[in-house]
């Protein structure tokens, strides 16, 4: 009988490893794991030549690799992923009811701001321009920044009172 070369043994092992791994995982993953196992056998177990030595070792290695693959998949959340086709997309166009609510809120806000004093209107204008409180302090010529914080608090409180005590009033 002709002696079997190591390459022939590894080729037969590869088939067995892929079949074993594919029975637990996808075919693609099984192919990858089989390749990893064969590389490991080639690098670290060159002293083993006989199929009866290599087969149990290779199956044990592929078991460890499969467990490792599953732990990694769990860490990455691959088991809980949802297909993008299953996710409903929100309608980004505002509904007529949302548009009316927003318009009413804007009208109420505009009317309330018109009733505020000059300092509060100026403070809101500067905040809407994106100015920071230290910048507002310099622009308004205030000695202490806490004064600006106090004015802001009082102006917001007064605006809320002018709007009826509730930002969302009339929009529900």
pLDDT digits (tens, 9 = 90+) for 87-130: 887 777 778 888 888 898 888 888 898 899 999 999 999 999 99
Q: How far is residue 117's CA from residue 115's CA, in Å, rounded to a whole number?
A: 7
Q: How far is residue 119's CA from residue 100's CA, in Å, rounded to a whole number?
A: 31
Residue 152 has pLDDT above 90, yes or no: yes
pTM for the predicted model, two decimal places: 0.44
For 163, other C-beta atoms within 10 Å of its C-beta total: 19
30-48 pLDDT, tens digit per residue, is: 899 899 998 888 888 888 7
* DSSP line for 96-138: HHHHHHHHHHHHHHHHHHHTS-HHHHHHHHHHHTT--HHHHHH
Tell me the mean pLDDT in the region 47-64: 86
Cα–Cα nearest to 109, from 148, 59, 164: 164
Indicate the pLDDT class of residue 169, thresholds 50, 70 and 90: low
């Amino acid at each position: 009988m002709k002696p079997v070369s190591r390459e022939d043994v590894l080729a037969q092992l590869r088939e067995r490893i892929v079949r074993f791994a594919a029975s637990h995982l996808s075919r693609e993953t099984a192919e990858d794991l089989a390749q990893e196992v064969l590389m490991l056998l080639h690098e670290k177990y060159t002293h083993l030549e006989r199929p009866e030595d290599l087969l149990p070792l290779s199956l044990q290695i592929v078991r460890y690799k499969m467990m490792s693959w599953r732990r990694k998949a769990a860490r990455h959340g691959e088991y809980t992923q949802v297909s993008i086709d299953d996710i409903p997309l929100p309608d980004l166009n505002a509904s007529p009811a949302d548009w009316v609510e927003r318009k009413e809120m804007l009208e109420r806000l505009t009317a309330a701001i018109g009733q505020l004093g000059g300092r509060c209107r100026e403070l809101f204008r500067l905040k809407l321009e994106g100015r920071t409180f230290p910048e507002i302090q310099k622009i308004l010529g205030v000695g202490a920044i806490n004064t600006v914080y106090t004015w802001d608090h009082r102006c917001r409180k007064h605006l809320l009172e002018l709007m009826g005590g509730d930002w969302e009033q009339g929009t529900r």
